Amino acid sequence: TNQENSTGGFMRLGILFILLGGLFSFSGLATTHSKGKSKDLIQKLNRLKKVKLTANVDSLTETDKKVLSKLIEASTLLDEIYLRQVWKGNPELLKVLSQDPKSKMVLRLFKQNAGPWSRLDHDEPFIPSVPNPKPLGAGFYPDDMTKSEFENWLKGLSKKEQSSATGFFSVIQRDPSGKLVSIPYSEAYREFLEPISQLLLEASALTQDPGLKKYLKLRSEAFTSDQYYDSDVAWMDLDSKIEPTMGPYETYEDALFNYKAAFESFVTIRDDRETESLKKFSTHLQDIENQLPIAEEYKNKKLGANSPIRVVDQVFTAGEARRGVATAAFNLPNDEKVIKEKGSKRVMLKNVQKAKFENVLIPISKIALSPKSQSEVAFEPFFTHILMHELVHGLGPHQIKIGDRETTVRMQLKDLYAALEEAKADITGLFAMNHLISKQVIDKSLSRSM
C-alpha cells in the first residue's frame, strides 16, 4: 500500500494483529441472531488471527517511554475521527452494541472493520438496518449527494475553492439551505484535533531528540491549521529511535472520488541494524525509474533526493491503519509536492511481517507447495518482496500535464486510482526485483523463493 496503505493488495493479506480497544459505539438495532447467523459471525471473526506483537524497548529512556505514552493517547483520539470518516452513524451504533450483552460477537466484528460492513466480503453488512451498499462517499460527503451534483457544484467555484473541495483535508456538507459547502478537517473534527494537537505538543516538549521534537511540534500545528507540508517534510527528515506516523493520509475510504484522506497512526520503534542494511536500495531508485518500460516523457529524471527506508517494530496503531487486515508496510506521504521535492519514505513493519509470514504464508505453503518446495519458503524473500512493492510506489508518473493543464495521476483516475496504484506496485515491484538481481544488489538465490 502506499501505506500506502500504504498497504493494499498483497500487503493486506491475512491477519488482524491487534483488535481495536473500546473506542467505538451504536444503538436501537435488532442485533439478535439465529444460530445460522451466529455461525456466520464466528466464521468471519475466525478469518483474522489475533497474535501478540512485541517490540524491543530496552534502548528507550524513561523519557522516551513517556513520549510513547503521549503518542498512544493521541492515537486513540484519531480512532474517534476515523470512525466518523467511515460512516456518520458509527458512533451511535458503537454505543448501542457496547451496551448490549447479546451483541459481543457483533461488537468484535464491528471493531475489526471500523463499522458494520465486512471488508473481506466486499463491504457486505453484518448488521441489519444499516445502509446497503456501504455509502461510497463514506462520511466525507452528504449521504444523498450524487457525483454529478458534486461535479456541477465544483464548476461554480473559484480555483482556490475547487482545490479545497477536492483536496485531502476537507469534508463536504450541506448548509442550512441545502447547498454543498467545503469544511476543513480542523473545523469538522475540532473536538478531537485540538486535544490531539496538545498531546503532541506535550510529547514534543518531553523528547530530547531534535528531529522528533520538530516533527511533533509541526504536526501539532498542522492538525489545527490543515497545513501539512512542513510537518510532512519534517517527517521525511526524521531520524529518531521513535518513529511515529500520524495524520490524514490514505484515500481508500473515499470510494466516490478518492479525494479525501483518512486519519491514521503508526507508533513504532526503529530497528537500527535492519534500517542500516537497507540503505543500499535507496541509491538505486533513480536507476529503476530510468529503466521503467514507459514513455520517456513520463519518467522522473530527478527523483526527490531523500528517499529513506525505515525498518521498525509496530507498538500501536489507530484509525485507518487499524481496521480490517493489518498493514505490513507503507510508503508516504501522498502529497505530490513533497514527493517531487523530497521523495517518499518507505516504512517496513518487521514484527507485523514476521507475524504474517508465520501465521499466513507458512500455513498456505503447506497446502499449496510440495514438501521440497516448502523448504525454500523463507522470511527474507517475503520481506524483500514487500520492500520491492513499497519502493516502486514512489516511482513512475505522479505529476502530469494534459494539454496545457498541470494535474496528477491521482486526480485524473479518481476512484480508480487506489486499485491501479496497488496493481502498479505489485507488477513494477517484480520488475524492480529482476533489475536489482541483474545488478547483483539482490542475491539471485532469492528469486526462486520470491
Length of the chain: 450
Q: Nearest Cα to 305, choosing from 386, 235, 241, 236? A: 236
Residue 403 lies in a domain: yes
- DSSP string covering 294-363, please? S-GGGS-SS--S---EEEEEEEEEEEGGGSSSPPSEEEE---HHHHHHH--EEEEEHHHHHHHIIIIIHH
pLDDT (0 to 100) of residue 12: 33
Residue 396 lies in a domain: yes
Cell 516523457 belongs to residue:
297
User: Residues 154, 180: contact at Cβ < 8 Å?
Assistant: no
pLDDT (0 to 100) of residue 10: 31
Query: For the chain, what is the domain count?
Result: 1
Domain of residue 413, residue span = 9-18+53-87+135-449
Distance CA(269)–CA(344), nearest Å, equals 19
pLDDT (0 to 100) of residue 304: 65
Residue 163 lies in a domain: yes
Residue 124 lies in a domain: no
Residue 226 lies in a domain: yes
Strand partners, 401: 406
Cell numbers given for 121: 466480503
What lies within 8 Å, CB to CB, of 149 at 6+ separation is 180
Position 217: which residue type? Answer: K
Please report how many Cα atoms fall inside a 13 Å half-sphere around the Cα of residue 99, on the Cβ side. 12
Residue 26 lies in a domain: no
pLDDT (0 to 100) of residue 35: 59
Residue 297 belongs to a domain with what CATH number?
3.30.540.30
Mean pLDDT per 10-residue segment, the chain (450 residues)? 39 34 38 67 92 93 98 98 98 97 95 97 95 97 98 98 98 98 99 99 98 99 99 97 98 97 99 95 93 93 82 98 95 91 94 97 96 93 94 91 90 92 95 94 83
Distance CA(319)–CA(372), nearest Å, equals 42
Residue 46 lies in a domain: no
Residue 298 lies in a domain: yes
